[in-house]
Amino acid sequence: MTPALADTTLHVPTLLLTGWACSIAYFDVRFRRIPNMLSLGAWVIATSILVAQRVSLLGAPASSALLGAGLALLLTLPGYMTRRLGAGDVKYLVAIALLTSFDTTLWCFIVAALAGGLAAVLWLNAHNAARLIPDRAKVWRTRLTQWSEATDMRSRMPFGPLLSLGLIVVLWVGPRS
């Protein structure tokens, strides 16, 4: 195999995971739920790969993927028990762990939590930010004000898109494990 061809095959799992993450983000934003077909289906695929090859989809040892699944449960079950996260978020992070590794799972969650914090700050301050927009951009000010007033502050922010963002960031610019 030529080096150029070998180099492109290394990115196929990354491209597959990126597409999977984008589809999960879409479903969670659009329908406010993550389909079991996408999360539990990934569990089946990941488990099959782990059993057959003793490595994850990205080539990490099976022990790293299983430790990552334990970490995913440790990080998300408290949020689920306190109704801050949905069951889909828990299943999604476990699927990420089984497909990748402990390190990828940890960094994915860290990026998602930081992005979620930033999104929450922006969401809570959207109304104040609208007043900072000059009169020339009246359309943008009106849209931002409408968005901030229409958003139900009691509803949960979907965490699936943030986990997807975390996974994509780690896959494309994060450390390799």
Q: How far is CA 34 from CA 1, 15, 65, in A?
A: 39, 20, 21
> Residue 68 pLDDT more than 70?
yes
CB 168 within 8 A of CB 18: yes
> Residue 1 pLDDT more than 50?
no
Which residues span the domain enclosing 50? 3-173
Domains identified in the chain, total number:
1
**Which residue stretches of 33-86 are H helix?**
36-53, 62-81
> Residue 141 pLDDT more than 90?
no
Instruction: Specify the pLDDT at position 153.
Output: 47
> Residue 62 pLDDT more than 80?
yes
Q: How far is CA 77 from CA 88, 91, 136, in A?
A: 11, 10, 47
Task: Identify the CA nearest to 96 among candidates 7, 12, 165.
Answer: 165
pLDDT tens, 71-88?
Answer: 999 999 999 999 989 999
List Cβ neighbours of 144 (8 Å cut-off, separation of 6 or more). Answer: 126, 127, 129, 130, 133
Cα 147 from Cα 123, distance rounded (Å): 9
Instruction: Specify the pLDDT at position 78.
Output: 96
Instruction: Specify the pLDDT at position 65.
Output: 97
Q: What is the mean pLDDT of residues 14-42?
A: 94
| Average pLDDT score over the chain | 85
